[in-house]
Structure 1
Amino acid sequence: MKTIEKNFSKKVAPSKAALMVQAVCGCKWSLTIYQLLGYGINRPGEMVRRVDGLTTKVLNQCLRKNIEFGILARTSYNEVPPRVEYEVTEFGSKFMKVLDELEQLQNEIYSNE
């Protein structure tokens, strides 16, 4: 009798990546912040002024969470008054491509309904 080799192991869901997507998509403002950064708006005060309903407190919470995930980077300048800017990291660019794919999938789902 011929034996078949097992070449595959049990597939496990990417739990850390899934939690990141869930946290970012669950945040009301993360996608808006990415859009602002895409347009070159990288200072928190300008972000708050450009988006109705966005408060400084909520913005800072959202930015902090994205920094912890490694999606955004914060640069502080030693100036008076203090200046802070945010930018998308290399990992963040890859992550945003995943979000773009999810958006395209969502659009496809809506068009098939």
Structure 2
Amino acid sequence: MEPNKKKVLRKAPPKQSARMVETIYGCKWSLTVYRLLALEINRPGEMVRSVEGLSAKVLNECLRKNVEFGILERVSYNEIPPRVEYTVTKFGKKFLNVLEELEKLQDEIDQMNSQ
């Protein structure tokens, strides 16, 4: 190899974002939660009542993961009875755009495979 020639370093995958996508797609309820939030259903009890087969325990675990990743924000109101709502963060909106692009890519793959 010539001494003045630059070497290309190995490109590593993005660790955190790849883990986020894997975790979100691994949770079968996250995409449903995003759809509920888009429909302005943002309270956990209302979410559970709106989706057949979704339990409060599973929903809370899903919401917790999304809050930890910074995709969702938990807003707790100091009321009696207590009221909690979830909203998509600014970062979460960017992340949801990435998921949308992945869905478009999957649609293209499906179309290619059906030909």
TM over 0.5: yes
**In the aligned structure 2, how far is the partner of 1:93 from the partner of 1:16?**
17
- TM-score, structure 2 length as denominator? 0.92
**In the aligned structure 2, how far is the partner of 1:71 from the partner of 1:99?**
12
**In the aligned structure 1, how far is the partner of 2:5 from the partner of 2:43?**
57
Cα deviations by residue, 1:75-108 (Å, 9 ceiling, x for unpaired): 0000000000000001100000000000001111
What pairs up with 1:52-71 in 2 under 5 angstroms? 52-71=52-71
**In the aligned structure 1, how far is the partner of 2:12 from the partner of 2:34?**
29
- TM-score, structure 1 length as denominator? 0.93
Partner of 2:50: 50
**In the aligned structure 1, how far is the partner of 2:92 from the partner of 2:5?**
40
Uncovered stretches (5+) of structure 2, i.e. residues with no partner: none
* Post-superposition offset of 1:16: 1.1
Partner of 2:107: 107
Give the 3-state SS of the residue equivalent to 2:54 in structure 1. Answer: coil
**In the aligned structure 1, how far is the partner of 2:21 from the partner of 2:56?**
23
Partner of 1:23: 23
* Post-superposition offset of 1:50: 0.5
Uncovered stretches (5+) of structure 1, i.e. residues with no partner: none
What percent of counterpart residues are identical? 61
**In the aligned structure 2, how far is the partner of 1:76 from the partner of 1:8?**
49
Partner of 2:84: 84
**In the aligned structure 2, how far is the partner of 1:9 from the partner of 1:87?**
40
Letter in 2 for 1:60: N
